[in-house]
Amino acid sequence: MSEATRSAILEVADDLGYVFDSTASNLRSQKTDFVAVTIPSINNANFAETVGGLSDGLKERGLQILLGYTGYDILEEERLVEQLLRRRPEAIVLTGDRHTDRTRRLLINAGIPVIETWDLPVRPIGHVVGFSNAAAVRRMVDHLIRAGLARIAFIGGDADRDTRGADRRLGFIAAMKEHGLDATRLIAAGVPPISMREGANAMARLLETMPDTQAVICVSDLSAFGALTECQRRGVTVPGTVSIAGFGNHEIGAMSVPSLSTVNPFPREIGSRAAALILDVLDGRQSGPAVTEVRPQLLVRESSL
Amino acid sequence: MSEATRSAILEVADDLGYVFDSTASNLRSQKTDFVAVTIPSINNANFAETVGGLSDGLKERGLQILLGYTGYDILEEERLVEQLLRRRPEAIVLTGDRHTDRTRRLLINAGIPVIETWDLPVRPIGHVVGFSNAAAVRRMVDHLIRAGLARIAFIGGDADRDTRGADRRLGFIAAMKEHGLDATRLIAAGVPPISMREGANAMARLLETMPDTQAVICVSDLSAFGALTECQRRGVTVPGTVSIAGFGNHEIGAMSVPSLSTVNPFPREIGSRAAALILDVLDGRQSGPAVTEVRPQLLVRESSL
DNA sequence: ATGAAAGCGCTAACAG
DNA sequence: CTGTTAGCGCTTTCAT
């Protein structure tokens, strides 16, 4: 039919209030144009960036994100994954590499591309776009030691629900031991993800119980900023008396006075790479499982100079 | 059938890798258990809180959020709304009250509950859960004037794409004029939503062009924190030389030194109230359009004492 | 109670 | 190329 006829029909349809029903289309064509994405929490600038990168990369193809939050809980992740798979997504993107056995089975049976992100899984389910949290913290430890600091502490959450946070702590411990240094200055600061306030409280405990500490690595920039403010309230100079480092390259770390040393995990790039990978797989340009490492960048700033 | 048989069947189904296909269910039952939600940006702690409140309130009923980002653009919102309506959501939650005419038509024709949030629309489409951004800033102006300050500036974005930001600026201008004060100390700091960095740059311009300014109200806590750090870098005391206020009750405002005066718009409550309203409408407990005002709270902190 | 059959609104396959 | 028809996998209805 002619373009004129076509647009005339579409206009009449619009005037009549017709809206295409994709539920019928989905059933018949066995295509939903959904990509399922699970993140631990919506209220986290890093994961939000990853979702933004995914969303931008997928929307040009008309793929829509179906987002779910696990609350840092692999059982909740299992429920969520099952619920999401019922919607018949074309692909699924997960945060992290720790899953229940049933989650793994469900994902494998689903027969769709599975992408684990924000980690480098030992036993990947399918594709991977991530990095080693432990190795990233190791580089921060190396930097602090090169700067002449030895009594270094780690502030993180008090459980292993946040497995990336737990990996960062393990990376800290391993790196310290490699250098022959004491790796027992560990402060557990609350249920992950820990807040600015919890970072401040942890810093208070650290200053009181281990006052000779020379540097602190925090599991995130938010807790690092909280730790910094606690030092400021107590008149402890940063750097000088104590150096502080964070993780995640949140804007707060670039703007605070002093600015915070941190690690940039390129969260948006994780999302855009995952999106590109999904398109490659769906278009048959990628056959086997792909492992893409997005190497984090160490950012040395005023708080550890 | 017996409970034992039932669970046995379900177990076999699970072993076979069967996963319920909700696309078929959706088509036949004309129910999707989707609630569509549009927010300007995913990377905003306030909107993230609202989505969190919505999500928690809806998931007990098995309702899943279908989230979309408008990028603070009503044309993008139109495209998004049309795309979302094709999925046949049971209800739709919008951020803001400015929409294209076509968006309004689509929403009315959809025949589902429509909830506008984060504003008090003059001409609501359906339900409302929000507050007056202008009135909230007016209360901040009143507070600063009561504190004896008169030369007050406003830092915001340089366009009206962020209509809530624009309303805050209008509220500032109206309040200043009511008090017979000069309302021309306006700094436009970049494309909304403005960042910490842009807040800092705006503060720099303000200090250089209007050095006698006594107080600054920023469109958000993030830009207010940026403004604060710029003062710190220049040795301008806050408060004392300049008082600073933000908007949004982000955690940064509570933790910074000095802490930032701000307005708490109860973002999570907006989400949970919207969720409760949706359940009420779907269950027939609410018939006519409901307007719920979530009154913001003025938080006076160190930065304006 | 249980079982059979129709049908949701599209898309794909096939016939003309 | 256009027009017709079957059918996606559930839910609902109707008959037994």
Per-residue pLDDT tens digits for B95-132: 999 999 999 999 999 999 999 999 999 999 999 999 99
Q: Which two tokens stand for residue A163?
A: 């497995």
pLDDT number for residue A4: 78
* Chain A nearest C-alpha distance from B24 (Å): 6
CB contact under 8 A, A17 and B109: yes
pLDDT confidence tier of residue B160, bands split at 50, 70 and 90: confident
pLDDT number for residue A297: 98
Mean pLDDT of A103-116: 97
* B251-275 pLDDT per residue, tens: 999 999 999 999 999 999 999 999 9
pLDDT number for residue B255: 97
Asked if residue B1 has pLDDT above 70, the reply is no
* Contacts with A15 (C-beta within 8 Å, 6 or more apart), sequence order: none
End-to-end CA distance of chain B: 70
* A163-214 pLDDT per residue, tens: 999 999 999 999 999 999 999 999 999 999 999 999 999 999 999 999 999 9
What is the distance in angstroms measured between the alpha-carbon CA of A24 and the sugar C1' of C8? 8
Mean pLDDT of B2-21: 87
Asked if residue A132 has pLDDT above 80, the reply is yes
Q: Which two tokens stand for residue B11?
A: 């177990």
* Contacts with A198 (C-beta within 8 Å, 6 or more apart), sequence order: A189, A190, A223, A226
What is the distance in angstroms measured between the alpha-carbon CA of A21 and the sugar C1' of D4? 22
Whole-angstrom distance, CA of residue A104 vs CA of residue A232: 47
CB contact under 8 A, A27 and B27: yes
End-to-end CA distance of chain A: 70
pLDDT number for residue B275: 98
* A206-256 pLDDT per residue, tens: 999 999 999 999 999 999 999 999 999 999 999 999 999 999 999 999 999
Contacts of A233 in chain B (CB under 8 A): 257
- Please tell me if residue B48 touches chain A, with a CB cutoff of 8 Å: yes
Backbone angles phi, psi at A238, to 5 degrees: -130, 120
Chain D bases having any atom below 7 Å from a protein CB: 2, 7-12
pLDDT number for residue A7: 83
Percent of chain A whose pLDDT exceeds 70? 100
pLDDT number for residue A294: 98
CB contact under 8 A, A22 and B87: yes
pLDDT number for residue B214: 98
pLDDT number for residue B7: 83
Closest CA to A156 of A178, A139, A171: A171
CB contact under 8 A, B45 and A43: yes
Whole-angstrom distance, CA of residue B153 vs CA of residue A286: 55
Percent of chain B whose pLDDT exceeds 70? 100
CB contact under 8 A, B86 and A255: no
- Please tell me if residue A237 touches chain B, with a CB cutoff of 8 Å: no
Asked if residue A2 has pLDDT above 80, the reply is no
Nearest to B257 among A85, A88, A233 (CB): A233
- The alpha-helical segments, DSSP class H, found in chain A are 3-15, 22-29, 45-59, 74-86, 101-110, 133-146, 163-178, 196-209, 221-234, 251-255, 267-282
What structural domains and CATH numbers belong to chain A? 3-131+267-295 (3.40.50.2300), 133-264 (3.40.50.2300)
Whole-angstrom distance, CA of residue A232 vs CA of residue A215: 15
State which residue of chain B sits closest to A256, comparing Cα positions. Answer: B229
Q: Is B259 helix (H, G, I), strand (E, B) or coil?
A: coil
What is the distance in angstroms measured between the alpha-carbon CA of B99 and the sugar C1' of C14? 46
**Which region among A274-288, B6-20, B56-70 has the lowest average model confidence (pLDDT)?**
B6-20
pLDDT number for residue B233: 96
